[in-house]
Structure 1
Amino acid sequence: MGRLTLDIASETLRLAQPFRIAGHVFDTSDIIVVTLSDGRARGRGEASGVFFLGETVDGMRGQLEAARAALEAWPTREALRFILPPGGARNAIDCALWELEAALTGQPVWRLAGLDPPRPLRTTFTLGADSPEVMARGAADYAQARSIKIKLTGDLPLDQARVRAIRSARPDAWLGVDGNQGFVRADLDGLIETLVEQRVSLLEQPLARGHEPELEGVASPIPIAADESCVSLADVAAAIGRFQVINIKLDKCGGLTEGLLMAAKARRLGLGVMVGTMVGTSLATGPGFVLGQVCDLVDLDGPTFLAKDRPPGVVYSDGAVWAGEDVWGDPASAVAA
């Protein structure tokens, strides 16, 4: 095999409306898009990085430029795990390598990964934090959603009111909440009591990263999921006794290769597995859709926040997401002459 050519582009995606979580409000999402080509075929990957770890487009680009020689020497996906650390830069390259291999072998990514043919996946649709009334209207407007994830901020009385209002508006829906590190241990008992009362099925990342030991011994009938507390494969074992589910995001862990390893290890340890995504286009969602085929919970609604998605796009229908091979991983993909 000859050398590859690496192209790195950056884009700013505009959100349809501001999106609020604990401690942050997002109006845009800055991303990188990489392309690896051997002159016959190409593979692509998109990444926004990990905002809570301080990743930026400039930082990811710097990582890629520093490793350009190794990346253009056609590394295996396993070798890539030692060339770049977990994070957005590795994710973009890893996804590009998967798609490039699909194009060169004529096999879709799911088959290369040893998976069964993909199926549509029921996904959550996320409500950004706002007043209880606004969030309840948003839940009602999510007519097709069968699963809704609620962003909370750590203001316990207000968050309890948010959950009650949304449950009243959508008595039929599966509900999960995401604390995005906004709570303290003293608030958990009151929060969990309300979640049980309102038939909420998942509590994601209630405490700040670094405070995981405080979850030991918490008696919660609702599974607690690790997001910011579980970045890569090295973090999975530490979830035992503190979390019941891990949320794998390819931008965090560094790509589909590591994501599949994390899912397999979580299964061996008796943990539930969730796949999530940062805000990005359908190109970023496609690899997550492949990982979602082996997950219990799916949160792949990133493109729904954008003012404009990248065509061809994933399809949302009846509460489920479908990412065809034309979105990412197309074995017929080739570089134009």
Structure 2
Amino acid sequence: MTSVKSPLVARIERFPIAGSFTISRGAKTEAVTVVAEISLGGHAGRGECVPYPRYGETPEATLAAIEAMQEGVARGLTRETLQATMPPCAARNALDCALIDLESKRSAQRAWALLGRPEPTAGTTAYTISLASPEAMAAATVKAAHRPLLKIKLGGEGDPERIAAVRKAAPNSELIVDANEAWTASTLEKNLDACAAAGVTLVEQPLPAGADEMLAQIRRPIAVCADESVHDRTSLERLRDRYDAVNIKLDKTGGITEALALADAAKVLGFDIMVGCMVATSLSMAPAMLLTPLARFVDLDGPLLLSRDRDNGLRYEGSRVFPAEAALWG
């Protein structure tokens, strides 16, 4: 039996973070990504993903999951077939984005035109302040206080002091907060009140996914956004009385195909949209830019947190992020 040579290759890549990046679940000093590349007819399409330990993903397992699709890709795997073949996960994201990039290059169309979407334009991205002591966060915030939108990582005990210190250091910036599931039923209302007092616009995922029912039982003084609680369209219905917005990340949805469908469905249900990212290179950010015309909040600062980005990366001017050139993706 003759084996079919696959046009799919995948690899793990590592990019150092400038300093370290800290959230409630820990710190890291490098972004570990997995890249899928599909070649056909002299063209190559790429997609990048970031395996997330929160969902039991590792770079090695993600690489293996992508490589397990080699025969399917060789036999003409389509994006539509991919959605039915793999569950939403980082591996599917890399493959979905690689297939779109390949189709875009082969058809000489930009990805948004190919997908029937509006062309993304430059927009303002949030810039992340890592979790630390109130004093250290204030010092980091002073350096970023010129940015119009800051995303503040919180982590539980001491959060009211952290957000007060950040607000004092950046009196003119719009603030959004990400608790990364670190709050509890006993601290929820106190922390929300502290954020409201600091003029915070939005709080992401204050309670653990699966234990967030209290959000439907209290008066929420500011908008609350689902992150770990939302993955794809099947997640939405149970969130309607708990959240005001949803954070759409391609590694959760398993690619831009489902991400766009999720955004459309969320809009119909009245949710605001945040387009978010993991700490990754511009190759991860580029397809997510297709969501920005639908988004109230854009959080695509991953490359700004790295010591170096990949070649042909997105252009950033301060907090303004510009859509990808075709040499990068789509």
TM-score band by shorter chain is over 0.9
Distance in 2, Cα, partners of 1:221 & 1:320: 29
Q: Secondary structure at the match of 1:186?
A: coil
| TM-superposition CA deviations, 1:228-264 (whole Å, max 9, x none) | 1112221122211011111010011100000000000
Question: What residue number does 1:333 align with?
Answer: none
Verify: 1:314 aligned to 2:318, yes or no: no
Matched, 1:69 2:71: yes
Q: Does residue 264 in structure 1 map to residue 231 in structure 2? A: no
Instruction: Specify every segment of 5 or more residues in structure 2 that has no aligned partner in the other structure, as ranges.
Output: none
- For 1:27, the equivalent position in structure 2 comes to 29
Q: Is the 8 A contact 1:14 1:306 kept in 2?
A: yes
2:121 and 2:25 map into 1 onto residues whose CA distance is 36
Aligned to 2:47: 45
Amino acid at match of 2:120: P
Percent of pairs with identical residues:
35
Contact 2:94-2:255 within 8 A present in 1 as well: yes
Deviation of the 1:293 alpha carbon: 2.4
Shift of 1:31: 1.3
1:176 alignment partner, SS class: strand
Q: Deviations over 1:57-89 (max 9, x none)?
A: 111122122232112222221211111111110
**Which amino acid in structure 2 is aligned with residue 7 of structure 1?**
V
1:200 corresponds to: 200
| 1:203 shift after superposition | 0.6
Task: Give the structure 1 partner of residue 90 of structure 2.
Answer: 88
> Is 2:56 aligned against 1:57?
no
- Partners of 2:127 and 2:299 within 8 A in 1: yes
Q: For 1:11 and 1:255, how far apart are their aligned partners in 2?
A: 19
Partner of 1:335: none
CA distance in 1, matches of 2:188, 2:290: 34
Q: Which amino acid aligns with 2:75?
A: A
Q: Distance between the aligned counterparts of 1:282 and 1:92, measured in 2?
A: 13
TM-score (normalised: structure 2): 0.95
Alpha carbons 1:127, 1:135 under 8 Å: kept: yes
Runs of 5+ in structure 1 lacking a partner?
331-337
State which drifts further: 2-11 or 58-67: 2-11
Counterparts of residues 104-253 of structure 1 (less than 5 Å): 104-155=106-157, 158-253=158-253
The DSSP-based 3-state class of the residue aligned with 2:187 is helix
Find out whether 1:291 has 2:291 as its counterpart.
yes
**CA positional deviation for 1:133:** 1.8
What's the CA shift for 1:278?
A: 0.7
Which stretch shifts more, 304-313 or 121-130? 304-313
The TM-score with structure 1 as length reference comes to: 0.93
Q: Take 2:10 and 2:324, find their aligned partners in 1: how far apart are those partners?
A: 24
**Aligned-pair distance for 1:144?**
4.3
Q: Aligned in 2, Cα 1:29/1:278: closer, same or farther, shift over 3 Å?
A: same
Question: Structure 2 counterpart of 1:101, which letter?
Answer: E
The Cα shift of 1:318 comes to: 4.1
Task: Quickly say closer, same or farther: Cα 1:327–1:243, change in 2 above 3 A.
Answer: farther
1:279 aligned partner:
279
Counterpart amino acid of 1:46?
Answer: E
Distance 2:63 2:143 in 1: 39
- What is the deviation of 1:3? 8.3
